[in-house]
Amino acid sequence: MLTRYVFFEGTPKVDAAEFRAAVMKVLLPLWQGMPGATGVRLTFAQERDEGAPEILMVLAVDYPDRATLDASLASDHRFVTRDQSAELLRLIFEGKVHHHITGKAG
């Protein structure tokens, strides 16, 4: 199993409740529709160590294997999702987004 994490490093441009509502209503259903995904989790920051980067939220999308992940990233749905996410995030989020792929140890 592989997990593609998306870290949203930055701050909301709107109040926290409005940010969460927009993400949950518009973005989460798009992310949940990624082809081949076996699990989608979204978490919002609660607190952080002093001096740690400000990670506003983290998206984790699980895939059974690399071929499925690659097919999902090459899908039409991914490009629609990426464009719609970028459009909304421009309005509600100030920061950068970075992706990390992890796999089980062993």
pLDDT tens-place string over residues 51-75: 999 999 999 999 999 999 999 999 9
For the chain, domain boundaries: 14-34+65-93
**What pTM was estimated for this model as a whole?**
0.92
How high does pLDDT run on average in the chain? 96
The per-residue pLDDT for 101 is 97
* Residue 105 confidence class, pLDDT cut points 50, 70, 90: confident
Residue type, position 78, single letter: R
Q: CB-based contacts of 65: which residues, under 8 Å, 6+ apart? A: 1, 2
**Confidence at residue 45, expressed as pLDDT on a 0 to 100 scale:** 95
CA distance 37 to 90: 26
The predicted pLDDT at position 94 comes to: 97
